Amino acid sequence: MTRYEVILEKAPCDGIFACLTRDPRFVEAADGLATIDPDADPVYDCEGEVVESRGRIVAAFDDDRIGEAEQAARACPTNAITVREVSE
């Protein structure tokens, strides 16, 4: 399986939520913008580490769902989402 990070920059996020329809780990946060919650998708038993700091959310995953994260990133009209593979 691939280890990857999903990085969400809060400042450019405008709350259109195109990401939510591509990857259910993206959810609406209390501030009306997107956030990442690995427990939000009841279909998959998804484990991930999510860290938020200074307007940036970084979620690390070790599963086969990188394609969903990449679709969410491509759908984001403000380019607020980046997906990158990371080495162990």
- For 48-69, what is the mean pLDDT? 92
49, 57 contact by CB (below 8 A): no
CATH of the domain at 12: 3.30.70.20
Q: How many domains does the chain have?
A: 1
**pLDDT beyond 70 at 66:** yes
- pLDDT for position 88: 64
pTM of the model: 0.89
For the chain, percent of residues with pLDDT exceeding 70: 93
Sequence length of the chain is 88
Q: How many CA atoms lie within 13 A of 22 on its CB side?
A: 17
**pLDDT tens string 41-55:** 766 766 778 999 999
Give the residue numbers spanning the domain of 38. 2-85
